[in-house]
């Protein structure tokens, strides 16, 4: 796809025009909006640094139109039966299947993921559409037993309103699907703010969604706006017309988002940073552990929230495992993410490279033993070496999430020490243990074990399936998206009680007698 003709064909397939400024605002009633006063965002290929498109960002006036039209669309969409809303998502999933190859390539071009990961992200959207279709017939409430005679009590779930979705560059479209497909079957309308580092793929997906809804007689219930202006972004977070704000990004920015939303008592769903660890004991099958560790540390060039950043190894096998990892790292092919032989693409931009280099410099100042890597690669693009470091748990760096392919190797003597090391960081997203010992596996999954939202045995930290609720604890934000009962985030719960007697008993046995006369209404 590095050939200009191939890129032109790709853009044509996705209804994008690289030779014109691409509108970065979509509103259901007004369509794609662009104004002469809009700031322009250049989209560059991180593998080459070359411009691949220009996007017109959203003006405050167009944002206001988007929000007002989204509120109006909600009034009708929430009345459409949920199974019919599910059919809309089914058709979107079918369209994504048709465009999977092109979308996967566009993701690789825009954010530097290898082609297999780009395609995998689109497949995740397709899987989410299938899941949401089934969920549209399973928005269950409970029947409850009243303590009062001749009373029926139950709960039901109603659409919430407008769901704002702010996504990060590392998963430019899949996280949108986690949120939007569930929100839409729940009767909500969505407003999407993609990262300015990954807006082109978002626009391509929005075009697919728009076309499917229009061609099949559904209202336009999914809007999008692109901005580089932090003031407009913060206005979005503070907007009381947003009934739920789902934010994916760093812990630092997520904390700010939560503060802004809290001032209006807004509901937030936060998916923030991870500092994920794999524990390996001496009973572990290293043939399983090594590829899981390498993929977890190197996949997406270390720019996943579920990236493996710490390796906590029983001291007796640390040297042997480190040697195997060095051999595996030497096999990691770095380069053009659209080349099927490539295993690791570039970092997202120059700032990410500088952050990687700064951490390596700090490690060197600490006297760290760098087992592999540590270099910024010469040439075009934002390429670095995957880096493996023998580290000390006391280093403050261990507490931080470096969004780059740097893996710290820590050692332990007994299993209680391993658990303490694992849980010693502020973040709590994903975790894993490799072991053949049942007691270690069960302890890791117990209340005294991993304090993360995701805990695995004999698989890595990265690559969660959509059927389970995704999210983490502590500084990761506590949000849950995707599977299980995550759909409840996008609805409001209502408890209902029906009295079908001629008496008015109060709960808890309270008596409140009034003389109301002898006559009773039948």
CB-based contacts of 424, cutoff 8 Å, min separation 6: 393, 399
Both tokens of 38, joined, read: 């809009």
Which DSSP symbol is given to 344? B
Catalytic hit among 117, 271, 401, 481:
271
Residues 6+ apart with CB under 8 A from 142: 154, 155
Which one from 69, 117, 121, 305 is the annotated catalytic residue?
Answer: 305
**Burial classification of residue 299, based on how many CB atoms lie within 10 Å of its CB (0-12 exposed, 13-18 middle, 19 or more buried):** buried
Name, in order, each residue with C-beta under 8 angstroms of 144's C-beta and a sequence gap of 6 or more. Answer: 153, 154, 155, 495
Of 304, 298, 369, 379, residue with least CA distance to 331: 298
186 carries an active-site annotation: no
Q: Is 305 a catalytic residue?
A: yes
The stretches of 144-285 forming alpha helices (DSSP H) are 174-185, 200-215, 230-238, 251-262
Contact 453, 480 (CB under 8 A): yes
Residue labelled with tokens 């397709």: 126
What is the rounded distance in angstroms from the CA atom of residue 292 to the CA atom of residue 432?
A: 10
Task: Render 423-468 in DSSP notation, one character per residue.
Answer: TTSSEESEEEEE-S-HHHHHHHHSTTS--SSEEEESS-SS---TTS
Q: Name the residues annotated as catalytic.
A: 271, 305
């Amino acid at each position: 796809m590095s050939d200009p003709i191939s890129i032109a064909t790709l853009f044509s397939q996705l209804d994008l025009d690289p030779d014109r400024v691409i509108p970065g605002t979509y509103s259901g009633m007004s369509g794609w909006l662009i104004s002469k006063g809009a700031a322009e965002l250049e989209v560059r290929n991180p593998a080459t640094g070359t411009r691949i498109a220009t996007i017109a960002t959203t003006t405050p006036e167009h944002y206001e139109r988007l929000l007002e039209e989204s509120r109006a669309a909600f009034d009708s969409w929430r009345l459409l039966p949920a199974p019919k809303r599910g059919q809309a998502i089914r058709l979107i999933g079918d369209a994504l299947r048709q465009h999977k190859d092109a979308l996967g390539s566009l993701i690789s071009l825009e954010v530097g993921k290898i082609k297999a990961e780009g395609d995998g992200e689109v497949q995740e959207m397709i899987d989410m559409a299938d899941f949401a279709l089934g969920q549209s017939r399973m928005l269950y409430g409970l029947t409850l037993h009243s303590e009062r005679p001749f009373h029926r009590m139950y709960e039901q779930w109603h659409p919430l309103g407008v769901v704002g979705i702010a996504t990060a560059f590392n998963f430019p479209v899949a996280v949108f699907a986690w949120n939007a497909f569930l929100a839409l079957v729940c009767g909500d309308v969505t407003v999407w703010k993609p990262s300015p580092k990954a807006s082109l793929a978002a626009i391509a997906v929005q075009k697919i969604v728009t076309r499917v809804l229009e061609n099949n007689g559904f209202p336009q219930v999914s809007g999008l706006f692109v901005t580089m202006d932090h003031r407009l972004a913060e206005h979005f977070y503070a907007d009381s017309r947003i009934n739920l704000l789902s934010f994916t990004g760093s812990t630092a920015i997520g904390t700010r988002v939560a503060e802004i939303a809290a001032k209006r008592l807004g509901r937030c769903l936060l998916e923030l940073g991870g500092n994920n660890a794999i524990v390996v004991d001496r009973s572990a099958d290293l043939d399983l552990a090594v590829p899981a560790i390498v993929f977890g540390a190197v996949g997406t060039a270390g720019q996943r929230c579920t990236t493996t950043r710490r390796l906590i190894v029983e001291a007796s096998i640390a040297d042997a495992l480190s040697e195997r990892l060095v051999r595996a790292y030497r096999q990691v092919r770095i380069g053009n993410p659209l080349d099927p032989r490539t295993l690791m693409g570039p970092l997202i931009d120059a700032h990410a490279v500088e952050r990687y280099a700064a951490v390596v410099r700090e490690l060197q100042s600490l006297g760290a033993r760098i087992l592999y890597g540590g270099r910024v690669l010469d040439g075009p693009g934002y390429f670095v070496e995957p880096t493996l470091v023998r580290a000390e748990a006391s280093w403050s760096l261990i507490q931080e999430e470096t969004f780059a392919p740097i893996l710290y190797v820590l050692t332990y003597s007994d299993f209680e020490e391993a658990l303490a090391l694992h849980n010693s960081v502020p973040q709590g997203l994903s975790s894993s243990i490799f072991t053949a010992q049942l007691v270690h596996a069960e302890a890791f999954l117990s209340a005294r074990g991993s304090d993360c939202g995701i805990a695995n045995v004999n698989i890595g930290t990265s690559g969660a399936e959509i059927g389970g609720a995704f999210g983490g604890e502590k500084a990761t934000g506590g949000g849950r998206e995707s599977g299980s009962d995550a759909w409840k985030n996008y609805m409001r719960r209502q408890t209902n009680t029906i009295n079908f007697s001629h008496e008015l008993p109060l709960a808890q046995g309270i008596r409140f007698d009034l003389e109301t006369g002898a006559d009773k209404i039948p």
